Structure 1
Amino acid sequence: WFANSKDFPALLQNDIKVRAFLNKKLVNAAVSKIIIERPAKNAKVTIYTARPGIVIGKKGEDIETLRASLQALMGIPVQLNIEEVRKPEIDAT
Structure 2
Amino acid sequence: MKMLRFISILEGTSLLLLLFIAVPLKRLMDMPEYVSIIGPVHGGLFILFNILLALSVSRYGVSSKHALIGFVASLLPFGSYVFKAKILNKY
Which has more helix, going by share of residues? 2
TM-score (norm 2): 0.39
Which has more strand, going by share of residues? 1
Compare relative contact order (CA 8 Å, sep 6+) and give the higher one, 1 or 2: 2
